């Protein structure tokens, strides 16, 4: 069950898919310290396209929100475009 950074209800997703997306997010944020959400989503999509079943953009949003709620990653600011980094 995922968490949401604003305390909203999370969703129940397959652990394997969660781990794939989480690992791709972490890998990309370790390489480039800060990324816009658009850049990050594109990189995760690139990494997983050939080996992932499901709508990657939906999973990226869901896992990103969970990682923010668990304080693994953070938004640099609440401005647009959204910029993310490791905590």
pLDDT digits (tens, 9 = 90+) for 33-46: 999 999 999 999 99
What does the angle CA 87 – CA 48 – CA 83 come to, to the nearest 5 degrees?
30
Whole-angstrom distance, CA of residue 23 vs CA of residue 20: 5
The full set of domains in the chain, from first to last, is 15-86 (1.10.10.10)
pTM: predicted TM-score of the whole model, two decimal places: 0.90
Task: Tokens for 44, please give them.
Answer: 């995760």
User: What are the two backbone dihedrals, phi and then psi, of residue 74, each rounded to the nearest 5 degrees?
Assistant: -145, 155
- The pLDDT value given to residue 80: 85
């Amino acid at each position: 069950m995922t968490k949401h950074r604003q305390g909203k209800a999370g969703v129940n997703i397959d652990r394997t898919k969660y781990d794939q997306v989480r690992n791709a997010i972490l890998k990309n944020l370790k390489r480039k310290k800060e990324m816009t959400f658009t850049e990050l989503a594109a990189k995760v999509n690139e990494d997983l396209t050939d080996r992932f079943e499901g709508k990657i953009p939906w999973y990226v949003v869901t896992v990103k929100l969970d990682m923010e709620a668990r304080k693994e990653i953070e938004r640099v600011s609440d401005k647009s475009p959204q910029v993310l980094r490791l905590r």
